[in-house]
Structure 1
């Protein structure tokens, strides 16, 4: 692919991204769920958002501990004092992508755990067993029994994951492109200052 063609592809992807900002991308999950913030979900489960402190004089992004529900690490993005519009666009897209990713995986993990628990309870009931044994410990199923659940869950959520991966690649391609532009503009400014 020549330079002109790749430039056209990037312009089309940026046009697509700007269109996505205006409309809701649901990725096969309920729209109302995606508009519900992760903090509201935490409140429903009696959890508070994990927070970590960043030194005020920091000039870098900081990566925090993994989130309890999504298993993704939180990121606190550095905001430069003289942030250019291009740098602002990049940081905003990275923040939106982080939040989008967070919401998807919170939803996916909570759904997975709920369905897994339902599967275990149903299977134990068909065997005539309670969820807990005589000593109060939770009963579990064998790996072969759980394999049925895992296969069923993956099959039911296949299209959701395909849609997620497509959107993830689009977002990361645009982020990479913008990072290249920002790096080029910073290098260009340094060159101009030296001359």
Structure 2
């Protein structure tokens, strides 16, 4: 695999040879992956790749939205604390932020539980397509070696 900073526009020729991993997205903090697409990609491999990409996009969107909401609410909390302190202090320790962290986690508990359930469901849904893709790939390799 090759690590790159962006996956937006990679030429198709590059995707035939190697899979590419981006650096962490600035909001979701997810490393996005573009899988290699062999010239003779089987239906099973394509199905697995599409399901994997769908899961990756779903995961990215969830964490991008969650992290954006977290940062917005954290900034609002800090601003409220500054007004309460009245000293305009810019420094906040981790202890000062503990009430916010607890409030955020408590408020979003059900969202996180739903995310975890959906994440596991999606991972299990990938198992059979991954096995089928693996078998198709090995079959192709065997055909090449005996040709």
Q: Distance in 1 between matches of 2:24 and 2:141?
A: 37
**Which residue number corresponds to residue 83 of structure 1?**
41
Cα offset for 1:177? 2.6
| TM-score when normalising by structure 2 | 0.82
Deviation string, structure 1 residues 99-134 (Cα, Å, up to 9, x no partner) = 11111111011100000000011011011133xx5x
Cα offset for 1:54? 5.1
Q: Distance in 2 between matches of 1:147 and 1:92?
A: 41
Aligned length: 139
**Which residue number corresponds to residue 109 of structure 2?**
158
**Which residue number corresponds to residue 146 of structure 1?**
97
Q: List runs of 5+ in structure 1 lacking aligned partners.
A: 1-49, 134-138
Q: Secondary structure at the match of 2:22?
A: strand
The list of structure 1 runs, each at least 4 consecutive aligned residues, that deviate by more than 6 angstroms after superposition, is none
Q: Say if 2:122 is the partner of 1:186.
A: no
Q: Distance in 2 between matches of 1:176 and 1:143?
A: 41
More helix by share: 2
2:6 pairs with one of 28, 40, 51 = 51
Q: Secondary structure at the match of 1:74?
A: strand
**Which residue number corresponds to residue 69 of structure 1?**
27
RMSD over equivalenced CA pairs, Å: 2.3
Cα offset for 1:80? 2.0
CA contact (8 A) 2:22 2:33 kept: yes
Q: Distance in 1 between matches of 2:82 and 2:68?
A: 21
| TM-score when normalising by structure 1 | 0.63
